[in-house]
Amino acid sequence: MTAAGPAPEVAPREGRNVGYVLVAAAATGWGTWPLILKHAVMPATLQAALMMVVGTAVSLPVMLKDRVRARARPAHWLGVAWLGAADALNVVLFFAAYQRTSVAVAVLTHYLTPIFVALAAPAVLEERPSARTFGATFVAFAGLALLLRPWGEGLAPSDLVGAALGAGSAVFYASNVLVNKRLAHVFSASELMFFHGLVAVPLLWSLVPSGAVAEASAASIAIVVAGSLGPGALGGLTFVWGLRRIAASHASILTLLEPFVAVVLAALFLGQRLTYGQLLGGALILTGAVLVITARPLQRAEIE
């Protein structure tokens, strides 16, 4: 990527508010995935590949209207290629973490993402470091720990491997947030989704077990496709549209609404009981989100 130019003016408060709403809406929609996938029996790699195919296909007609009139340089296209590879690696490592350890440990380490973004944003995006942002990050992550309670089950050696895989997925997830932000002035949300999908789809399909599609029921495939149109494609577009308007570190903290919503929905619809500690964790996540939304804007820079 080329060196960043002068930092553009920060978006007006009204525009930032729209960005916060869009990112929060995307994260809330992503929190419904556990309910959706519970009724779709198939390998996780096939679920991920189907989601990516649908998202890429849906973004094509949107891209015809949603364009950024800017000339992309080779460095920008390399960034898009990295987005595709990193997104596939993010999914692969996250699913591998699920297979090695508990959902709590996998999700908790996966959501180290906001911390990685907050630490890297000053160098990568020239977002001015803010004690408030770092404070909100750690408050929200503490809330996530209370919400998921990885200590609720005895930890085995495989849990350490699973935790490492989850943390690895967080690295690629964080890189996606940062690179999306860097490319926002060259590609629209739909352009980024479509072009990075051209790289991610083949990578993900190469990991699908032989015969998995034939063994999956039509109902399961229909459920995944329907979900891919909602929290998948629409959620992805909404997130990037919002990310264009707010700091990357702020957006990554708001994504912690995803596991919060997932746990609440599991309590409401799957009969999983919420403890007082988990309720406190949810309150801390919301506190972190409020600290972010009410913070003054950070300066940022994008590549030219």
Question: For residue 4, what are the β-bridge partners?
Answer: 303
Is the residue at 144 inside a domain? yes
pLDDT at 8: 40
Is the residue at 6 inside a domain? no
Is the residue at 302 inside a domain? no
DSSP 235-277: HHHHHHHHHTTS-HHHHHHHTTHHHHHHHHHHHHHS-PPPPHH
Distance between CA atoms of 98 and 108, rounded to whole angstroms? 11
pLDDT at 74: 92
pLDDT at 11: 52
Is the residue at 29 inside a domain? yes
Task: Locate 149 and state its tokens.
Answer: 């309670």
SS3 8: coil
Is residue 109 within 8 A of residue 166, CB to CB? The reply is yes
Query: Is the CA virtual torsion 80, 190, 88, 300 positive or negative?
Result: positive
pLDDT at 211: 92
Tell me, what amino acid is at 130? S
Tens digit of each residue's pLDDT, the chain (304 residues): 333 333 344 456 667 888 999 999 999 998 888 778 778 888 888 988 998 999 999 999 988 887 878 788 999 999 999 999 998 888 888 878 877 777 667 777 887 887 788 778 888 877 776 777 778 878 878 887 886 677 766 667 777 788 888 888 889 989 998 998 889 888 888 898 899 999 999 999 998 999 999 999 999 999 999 989 988 889 988 988 898 888 887 888 888 888 788 878 877 876 767 777 877 877 887 787 777 667 665 544 433 3
Is the residue at 280 inside a domain? yes
> Which position has the token pair 């997830």?
173
Query: Is the CA virtual torsion 188, 237, 141, 47 positive or negative?
Result: negative
Is the residue at 83 inside a domain? yes
pLDDT at 70: 79
Is residue 200 within 8 A of residue 51, CB to CB? The reply is no
Global confidence as pTM: 0.75
Task: Locate 162 and state its tokens.
Answer: 């699973």
Is the residue at 10 inside a domain? no
In terms of phi and psi (left: phi > 0; alpha: psi -120 to 50; beta: otherwise), the region of 2 is beta
302 — phi, psi (to 5°)? -125, 155
pLDDT at 72: 87
pLDDT at 10: 44
Is residue 220 within 8 A of residue 42, CB to CB? The reply is yes
pLDDT at 6: 34
Is the residue at 149 inside a domain? yes
Structure letter (DSSP) for residue 9 = P
Q: How many folded domains does the chain comprise?
A: 1
Distance between CA atoms of 259 and 268, rounded to whole angstroms? 14
Neighbours of 252 (CB within 10 A): 28
The residue range of the domain holding 83 is 19-293
Distance between CA atoms of 188 and 213, rounded to whole angstroms? 32
For the chain, what is the radius of gyration of the CA atoms?
19
pLDDT at 164: 86
